[in-house]
Amino acid sequence: MNKRCLAMVLAGGGGERLKPLTKKLAKPAVLFGGKYRIIDFALSNCINSGIYTVGIVVQYEPLILNSHINSGGIWDMHNGRGQITILPPYMNENGGCWYKGTANAIYQNLEYIDMYNPEYIIILSADQVYKMDYSLMLDEHVKKAADVTIAVTGVDWDEACRFGIMEVEDTGRIVKFEEKPKQPKSNLASMGIYIFNTEFLKKCIIEDENDKNSANDFGKNILPKLMNSGAKLNAYKFDGYWRDVGTVYSFWKAHMDLLEENNKLNLYDPTWKIYCEHIAVPPLYINHTAKVNSSMIGEGCYILGEVTNSVIFPGVFIGRGAHIKDSVIMSNVRVEDNVDINRTIIGSNSWIKAASIEYEESSIEDRIYYIDEGQIIE
């Protein structure tokens, strides 16, 4: 498939609803699943789908995201078959400005797109966890001769208001699209994954730039306008595991999903690897005083206490008599002896000394507690 289709990964958003985890970090760079960063899912899907030329649009807190992408071997897009390019906002002879919305971020990179002159462009979000073969979506886009194909999936009704929601005919044609409706009439959600014919995409975003009232965003502006214009928008139904981990609760819940036996994301499938950065840490050590159940534990951890139904990232120390339950502990956290931690996300590099955590100081959402990165709790 290669340069017939170019991927543009939107990775510049502020991650407002995931704020405690994204204070100093772009959401796509947030750690996920015991060893990955969220963006690894979209990028691995690209590699596994045969798309090796990828532009990543960055803006908010890009430092760690940039160094992750530039960290070497893993993202060399399979031995030079393609290239990943990081695309921050830039100045030119006419000035320059920050990426206003997602469509503007693509608009400001039309020169990059023209360099490859692809027939199709797939636009991806970098803040979702899923495994998907984009080449099947492209096949359907071509077969149905659509102007735009949007990947869609069913979501829980009580979450539908945080997505673009649509109604779709049996033929696959989208007949109604509403961005984040207050009272959704369907639970069929846009996954924020779009395939456009390149020329059509250019026309849409250039026209949208001339509309001074537009926020230049795909969900808010481009797709509703296209619905009214009679363009052919088709839905590509995806029924695998997909989560937009955009809130603290959905982030925690996606981790708990991972711990279910035979969970649908299945990180252990050798035919669809999720690639990630390698770090030089020693092997995992589990002492005879430790008890570990239904948990994922990263390399370099040193476990003396009890861990139940939790995801522990690399380099974590868990002391003797400590109990960790239904929790997500990020990298290099130290939990001292006899500490109890329950339904909590603990940010990297924290040091938990208190026997039980004073939750008043942390964020609470749906009874999930959060301890900021680098905290000493005593």
Q: Which residues bind ligand ADQ (CB under 6 A)?
A: 10-13, 27-28, 57, 59, 99, 101-102, 105, 125-128, 163-164, 179, 189-192, 218-219, 244, 246
Q: How far is the CB of 122 from ligand ADQ (least distance, A)?
A: 14
- Any binding-site annotation on 359? no
- Any binding-site annotation on 180? yes
Q: Are 152 and 119 in contact (CB under 8 A)?
A: no
- Any binding-site annotation on 220? no
Q: How far is the CB of 214 from ligand ADQ (least distance, A)?
A: 13
- Any binding-site annotation on 14? no
Q: How far apart are CA 378 and CA 370, in angstroms?
A: 15
Q: How far is the CB of 170 from ligand ADQ (least distance, A)?
A: 22
Q: How far is the CB of 101 from ligand ADQ (least distance, A)?
A: 5
CB nearer to ligand ADQ: pick between 129 and 297:
129
Q: How far is the CB of 317 from ligand ADQ (least distance, A)?
A: 33
CB nearer to ligand ADQ: pick between 243 and 334:
243
Q: How far apart are CA 373 and CA 29, in angstroms?
A: 14
Q: How far apart are CA 307 and CA 305, in angstroms?
A: 7
CB nearer to ligand ADQ: pick between 87 and 341:
87
Q: How far is the CB of 255 from ligand ADQ (least distance, A)?
A: 18
CB nearer to ligand ADQ: pick between 52 and 130:
130
Q: Are 259 and 295 in contact (CB under 8 A)?
A: yes
Q: How far is the CB of 103 from ligand ADQ (least distance, A)?
A: 9
Q: Which of 131, 119, 127 is nearest to 46 (CA)?
A: 131
CB nearer to ligand ADQ: pick between 146 and 191:
191
Burial letters 244-259, b for 16+ CB under 10 A, else e: bbbbbbbbbebbbebb
Concatenating the DSSP letter of every residue in 250-289 gives: HHHHHHHHHTSTT-SS-TT-TTS---------PPPEE-TT
26 Rama class: left (phi>0) / alpha (psi -120 to 50) / beta: beta
CB nearer to ligand ADQ: pick between 143 and 212:
212
> Can you give 102-149 as a three-state secondary structure string?
HHHHHHCCHHHHHHHCCCEEEEEECCEEECCCHHHHHHHHHHCCCCEE
CB nearer to ligand ADQ: pick between 127 and 340:
127
Q: Which of 66, 67, 84 is nearest to 75 (CA)?
A: 84
Going 26 to 32 to 37 to 39, the CA torsion angle's sign is negative
- Any binding-site annotation on 134? no
- From the annotation, which residues make up the binding site for alpha-D-glucose 1-phosphate? 99, 164, 179-180, 190
